[in-house]
Amino acid sequence: MPLTATSHVVDLAIRSGTAALAFNVITLEHAQAIAAACERTGLPAILAVSHNAVRHHGDDPAAILDACAAVARRCRLPLSLHLDHVEDPELAVAAPDLGCTSVMFDASRLPHDENVRVTAEVTRRLHARGVWVEAELGEIGGKDGVHAATARTDPADAAAYVAATGVDALAVAVGSSHAMTTRTARLDQDLIARLRDAVDVPLVLHGSSGVPEEELRAAVRNGMRKINFGTHLNTAFTAAVREALAATDRVDPRRYLAAGRAAAAEAA
């Protein structure tokens, strides 16, 4: 089917009181695994290609995005294509030319005022081309990064940031952390509810791989509308590859990549 807009996938979740799931793609096998999971569950999803993944593919965004687009078009369920954690404004505004209908523009490393200024300009340019924009305001006054487990997004700061930038979704810090391989994080559920009431755009949870399922369900009940997974799939993928390699001395990479793809599909 044709590529689906990320805004449509998120709107479906909002109307059903659930959350849209975004899965990070590093290789073609990741994209195929996510598409397989969609078809097995009958649910839509978002293929998220990070700026780091683009760098991995030789700084050529089309190398992985064209492959993802082909996988999405062959999927019988809605799949959208999203650029994630993009730090380069010019890469962000190139999103529609690369087949993406959404961008998470990440200026959280910048001083707050500069973050607001650059994000507002990128959002203006992307909205002119019909692209949905997610962003994050950063940990104001902090040094550990917005997605450190100790970081928290202030509702008043969140409301001011959304109003100043015009973004369509806001990634918030509520207790999760990137790259966790154990599901031990605890979310600030009261804060999620207060953020939901403070802003008029969907809330996004990054670092969800380290969050137990019951915590994620509670977060959705409290207003989280987009949930991002990366490490969860990579953990399953890598474990299956290791097992497949240990079981044979053959050198054909298709054998272990197929095992990784199947495990990532099950995880998704």
Backbone angles phi, psi at 99, to 5 degrees: 90, 5
- The number of beta carbons lying within 10 Å of the beta carbon of residue 132 is 26
Structure-block tokens of residue 102: 């959404």
What is the C-alpha to C-alpha distance for residues 152 and 174, in angstroms, rounded to an integer?
5
Which residues are annotated as catalytic? 84
Instruction: Retrieve residue 136's tokens.
Output: 């994050």
Residue (of 75, 169, 66, 73) closest to 127 by Cα position: 169
DSSP E strands in the chain: the ranges are 20-24, 45-50, 79-86, 102-105, 132-135, 169-171, 203-205, 224-229
Q: Is-contact 135 119, C-beta < 8 A?
A: yes
DSSP SS3 for 257 = helix
